[in-house]
Structure 1
Amino acid sequence: MSSNNKTLSDIALSVLDLVPIQEGKTATDAFRTSADLARHVEALGYKRYWLAEHHNMPGIASSATVVLIGHIAGSTKSIRVGSGGIMLPNHAPLVVAEQFGTLESLFPGRIDLGLGRAPGTDGLTAMALRRDLRGDVDDFPKNVQELQYYLGPVDPEAKVRAIPGQGLEVPIWLLGSSTYSAQLAAMLGLPFAFASHFAPAALQAALKIYRDTFQPSEHLKEPYAIACVNGVVADTDSEAEKLATTLYQSFLNVIRGTANPQQPPVDSMEGLWSQNEKYAVHQMLRYTFTGSPATVKEEIEAFLAETQVDELMFASHIYEHKARLRSYELLAELAKK
């Protein structure tokens, strides 16, 4: 760790986009606004723009994650574009290597490959994706190493190669919401990103394990950690609080197991959730920074002091596109102060 008082101006800022489908709109609309957001944050100096693989969710349009990465990379010029993440159990490592080898060949030096070990969906849909659910706990580490091999130096003796892919050394990140991937990332000497935007409980434990057990590799000499958090920033606290009700409704859907498109903000959540549901949503959203720039700056600085992460990746469930653009703009301005 570089210091004990890391501030916003010391770290990189990035974006996680779930490509939300809004009530009354289509996936086409979602793709258009995502490309516009990517261009906007690129101009603001954000480092990377990641898209997450989800399936069978009416409110999320990022199921064909690789196709969308190509769309976003083709709509921008310099920002790194990648997966946050590709859910490796759903795919053969060779296929992933070929896909990301193709992306890296199209957009050299701009592609990140973030890997998760969850299916990103329910059990029935996972079965439909994979056709069977056989496997054991060792599959993920083996599949990650197989992927590293396909994207690594050319092996003249190899009977199976990723073409394009071999020799391209696309950066691989391990993603997690528990300590498991933190241990694996440390063992393999890979960068690590934690999903504290929906699974805050294990963040500190995962970061400690990752840093304490990190083994330097040809990919990375020192540990490098991203924390993904939620950010809803507006000109005033009250405006931001109203915008955040879209986020609360999204997570209320998760808790209830209901599938709805992204909902517009409401004046109050009272009557929409029970006390138990309210508590559960706020537990999941512990690392959500909501408010005016002055309010969130103080909270984010406290989070950085606590975690010492190297990069913050902001997810934003803001319904109105202009308000979402403004939120990322205000966050970028905070980092320059």
Structure 2
Amino acid sequence: MNKKSLSNTPLSVLDLAMVVQGKTANDTFATSLDLAQHTEEWGYKRYWLAEHHNMPGIASSATSILIAHIASGTKSIRVGSGGIMLPNHAPLIIAEQFGTLATLFPNRIDLGLGRAPGTDQFTAMALRRDQRAAMEFPKNVQELQTYLSAANSNGRVRAFPGEGLDIPIWILGSSTDSAHLAAALGLPYAFASHFAPAQLHAALAIYHQSFRPSIYLKEPYTMACVNVIAADSDEQAERLATSFKRLFLGIITGHRELLQAPVNPDEDFMDPMEEAALQQMIAYSFIGGPEKVKEELQQFLDKTQVDELMITSPIYDHQDRLHSYEITNELTK
């Protein structure tokens, strides 16, 4: 096994399409496209958006439409879902939507699939008319694969466009359940370690040990998503990170808010008990100047040996966020 290093590990982007305080969803869509164009220029491999619902601070509820917006304004970067929460949808609808995307943007569309609802229980009930959908996730993934396959040309139900198109399907996860499924189906596997770090290593081990080669993938392929907030100095990065920490603390406490402007990380910034709980959630967050971030990302690669890193950078100011992605890219040189 070749040793993974930043210089030979592809970098990709997860854009949570956050609405920042004082801005609108329309502003978010404009800055997302600008980020995609810059990261394409810098050589990032893919740009993914995630399905969330009933969250005023996240504007990616209509994920397929937003993917089209990003793909239409870029030329080469792969664009996709990280992910589509399949239990919220009929597999045929997703086959048709992503078949349409792949027809409009050939060889550029990824379809990452998740089992979670991407929202709270009440909203999940509003989205899912059949509450058994989450339990039938493996079956629904295979149904979706059928609709996208050329072998379904004699099927009673077919996806147009979609049938016969080469749309890479990824299984996404934040626990070990998804690792078993990705391995059994021989599909690439992406882990959400940016907010659910606890089972990362166990899930990767299961995936590698249980992987079965398929027509889609001959060898295991893994990607982990991590938070990166990079700046010219450690002190600047720590200040930028206060926005991100307050946002994630709101998720833990149930007091959700839009992404706020950064503050000075003084002694009164956060209660010690709150910070301890927060650190468990954001353990794989790399905050600092170039040297610190490079060292910590390399340590992460040494431990996980993932094939690809997906970077999400929840930073209030768009120019600061661009600079963080630019710094991160320079670390691979």
- What band does the TM-score fall into relative to the shorter chain? over 0.9
Match of 1:123 in 2: 121
> Take 2:207 and 2:34, find their aligned partners in 1: how far apart are those partners?
35
1:27 pairs with one of 18, 25, 28: 25
* Cα distance in structure 2, aligned partners of 1:321 and 1:289: 19
In the alignment, what sits opposite 1:59? 57
Alignment counterpart, residue 201 of structure 1, candidates 198, 202, 215: 198
CA separation in 1, counterparts of 2:148 and 2:173?
22
CA contact (8 A) 1:255 1:277 kept: no
- Distance in 2, matches of 1:290 and 1:302, equals 14
How many equivalent residue pairs? 333
Partners of 1:14 and 1:313 within 8 A in 2: yes
* Structure 2 partner of 1:146: 143
The residue correspondences of 1:39-188 to structure 2 (distance < 5 A) are: 39-135=37-133, 137=135, 139-188=136-185
CA distance in 2, matches of 1:96, 1:133: 18
In structure 1, how many angstroms separate the alpha carbons of the residues matched to 2:216 and 2:148?
A: 12
Aligned-pair identity (%): 63
Deviation (angstroms), 1:155: 2.6
In the alignment, residue 262 of structure 1 is paired with which amino acid?
L
The Cα offsets for residues 206-238 of structure 1, whole Å up to 9 and x where unpaired, read as 000000110000000000000000000000000
1:270 shift after superposition = 4.2
Kindly indicate whether the alpha-carbon contact (under 8 Å) linking 1:236 and 1:292 is maintained by their aligned counterparts in 2.
yes
Distance 1:277 1:105, change over 3 A: same
* Corresponding residue to 2:5 among 4, 7, 13: 7
Once the two structures are TM-superposed, the CA of residue 127 in structure 1 deviates from its matched residue by 1.0
The aligned counterpart of 1:246 is 243
SS in 1 for 2:311: strand
TM-score w.r.t. the length of structure 1 is 0.97
The superposition leaves residues 266-304 of structure 1 with CA deviations (integer Å, 9 ceiling, x where unpaired) of 102644532221111111111111101101111111111
Aligned alpha-carbon RMSD (Å):
1.1
Structure 1 residues 46-72: Cα deviation after superposition (integer angstroms, max 9, x where no partner): 000000000011110010000000000
Q: Whole-Å Cα distance in 2 between the matches of residues 226 and 269 of structure 1? A: 35
Q: Which runs of 5+ in 1 are unaligned?
A: none
1:317 to 314, 318, 326: 314
TM-score (normalizing by structure 2): 0.98
Residue 275 (structure 1) aligned to one of 264, 272, 276 = 272
Which residues of structure 2 form unaligned runs of 5+? none
Contact 1:153 1:169 in 2 (8 A): no
Query: 1:71-100: per-residue Cα shift (whole Å, max 9, x none)?
Result: 000010000000000001100000000000
Q: Is the 8 A contact 1:197 1:229 kept in 2?
A: yes
CA 1:189/1:291 → structure 2, altered by over 3 Å: closer, same or farther?
A: same
Shift of 1:134: 3.4
Would the aligned equivalents of 1:20 and 1:59 in 2 still touch at CA under 8 Å? yes
Which SS does the other structure have where 1:335 is aligned? coil
1:216 aligns with: 213
Residue of structure 1 in register with 2:302 after alignment: 305
Task: Give the CA deviation at 1:152.
Answer: 1.0
Q: Do the aligned residues in 2 keep the contact of 1:54 with 1:121 (CA within 8 Å)? A: yes
Which deviations, in whole Å up to 9, do the C-alpha atoms of 1:85-132 show, x marking residues without a partner? 000110000000000000000000000000000000001101111234
Q: In structure 2, how many angstroms separate the alpha carbons of the residues matched to 1:129 and 1:200?
A: 27
Q: 1:25 to 1:153 in 2, by over 3 A?
A: same
